Structure 1
Amino acid sequence: MKNIAVLVSGGGTNLQALIDAQNRGEIKNGKISLVVSSNPNAYALERAKNNSIATEVIRRKDYDEFDEYDSAVTELLKSKDVDLVVLAGFMTILGKQFISAFENRIINIHPSLIPSFCGEGYYGLRVHEEALNRGVKVTGATAHFVNEVCDGGPIIIQKAVEIQNGDTPEILQKRVMEQAEWKILPRAVSLFCEDKIIVKDNKTEILD
């Protein structure tokens, strides 16, 4: 049984999707054992407590240097014997030490079909604003491993979502979450916990 830590900063809707999937028995050979927030007021912490999941708060501003913060997060998760880290709306940058310590063991969910509308600065509503501005007919979400390139890690799963007439960034954001993010993130986590993901040359192979 693999220990999963979920890193959050806000409301925790993707965390809730993971908790719901876990409660339905859809995350095989894995369990959410820890939720870490960069924000002590994040509602995600309440979601964790409501489901008897341990929580920790670790704020960037409590550390003078970024390297100290990066080290603190790394050591915290190591001390909890974490096998998989899931970024679920974690709004603080992670450094080389952390990424190296958990190589191919950090999963992020991004609200577009990478490599479209991704990279530095592309998060939240901006992703959906850019998709609508470009006039694409299909968008979606991508679950991927994290490396030192922003949104550049190996892709695990993608799911497409159609853009509809009259969409606003807010409407599109909600549809992408409901139809894609909340479905593929738990699936990617389960695949990892079942040892069904092989990473080679920055690409993944999913085993049957």
Structure 2
Amino acid sequence: MRGFILKLFYFYKMKLYLLISVFFFTFLTFAQDEGKKAYMFDENGNAIGQKEFFSKLNSETYYKRAVVNDTAVLARLYVRIFEGQLDKPSYTNFMSFLEKTIKTKVDTTKTLVIYFFYESDKRLAKHYANTKRLIELNNNPAVETFYMTEKGFQFKNRKHIFYEDSLDVVKQTFFIPNVCCGSAVVLKPNGNYYKELGEFNSYKLPEKALMDW
């Protein structure tokens, strides 16, 4: 039954991505009808064709931003899933500032998971605070999880404490550029990290958090 539910979830998620692509394609077509030419670029700023653009956009790896000027529509892809590593001094420094921010000790032998929200993410913050898969992860003794908001945004919820990133360290380290709809990072004790910018996958994220990598 669980496998069936997961398949159903991913089916509807792909339908959503398709709907977004269709909407954006309609937007581009309308703009062209208004006499504005559409220019599309990949994540490196290189010009690409419409087919390649929408093929990438339909995956979970990219999101897009579009700018409309007097004569054209400029659409560019940005990467939303990253893996990397903080070196030991950077990891130590980050954890030190994190503890100052949340005013509590963090167990550095455990995997750290931070769910991060901008002020425009109020609705998604409430949603992720009540998401069953994340509740299961939050109760797992192998991880430390924290809900956090950008500097200047204070959010209260009955389910969880939302810590304000008052020192701006979490945002500066992991969540630039500003991407709406909730972002998250998994940080391992060895400094390895995995992050998703914008509406992170509440099924994939717990799987990554509990893996050894």
Q: Could you state the TM-score of these two structures normalised by the residue count of structure 2? A: 0.30
Larger Rg: 2
TM normalised by structure 1 equals 0.31
